[in-house]
Amino acid sequence: MNNIWAPWRMKYIARPKDSGCFFCEAPINEDPLVLIKLEHCFAIMNRFPYTSGHCMVAPYDHVGDLAGVGDAQFTEIMSLVKRITASIRSSMKPDGFNVGCNIGSVAGAGFADHIHIHIVPRWNGDTNFMPVLGDVHLISEHIEETRDKIMRTLS
């Protein structure tokens, strides 16, 4: 049996399952992981990331599909995805990115009722035996340090 120390996960595991929509609540509740708030959307660090620097961009409107996002919102969302990607590239020097959204729970959406776009920085060699054989992901930096790096280069 593998033991991984990840105390931040207990908050996720123990939270009430009917606690509402995270993406609706985060910008209102001044979540410290919110990076930037614009007119139609905001960017936030993923509290339970796949890799260091994993961010998400979401509209304020509670919509579960891209078809429900207006043109002005969509333009602002994609512009913010571009800005966050540039900031991560500048501050963390990844070798590439995975950028996309999971629409619907069968597609892997953890919050299927609120569309959001994932921005996941990737480095050469970041997939090794740990995730492949042990289903273990290593996060090498505290999320608050990563947030501060990204914030310093966010323009």
Would you state the structure tokens that stand for residue 57, as one six-digit string? 């961009």
Query: Per-residue pLDDT tens for 43-54?
Result: 999 988 878 899
Examine the pLDDT at 17 and tell me if it is beyond 70. no
**Among residues 40, 114, 116, 118, which one is catalytic?**
116
Residue 104: CATH number of its domain = 3.30.428.10
CA 116 to each of CA 18, 130, 145: distance values in angstroms, whole numbers, following the listed order = 19, 28, 23
At 67, is the pLDDT very low, low, confident or very high (cuts 50, 70, 90)? very high
Examine residue 22 and state whether it is found in any structural domain, yes or no.
Answer: no
Examine residue 21 and state whether it is found in any structural domain, yes or no.
Answer: no
Q: 115 and 63 in contact (C-beta within 8 Å)?
A: yes
Examine residue 9 and state whether it is found in any structural domain, yes or no.
Answer: no
Q: What is the radius of gyration, based on Cα positions, of the chain?
A: 16
Examine residue 97 and state whether it is found in any structural domain, yes or no.
Answer: yes
Examine residue 11 and state whether it is found in any structural domain, yes or no.
Answer: no
Query: Per-residue pLDDT tens for 26-48?
Result: 999 989 999 999 999 999 999 88
What angle separates helix 71-92 from helix 143-153, to the nearest 10 degrees? 110
- 40 belongs to the catalytic site: no
Examine residue 27 and state whether it is found in any structural domain, yes or no.
Answer: no
Tally of domains within the chain: 1
Examine residue 127 and state whether it is found in any structural domain, yes or no.
Answer: yes
Query: Per-residue pLDDT tens for 85-122?
Result: 999 999 999 999 999 998 988 888 888 899 999 999 99
Neighbouring-strand partners of residue 96? 122
Task: Give me the domain span that covers residue 92.
Answer: 32-153
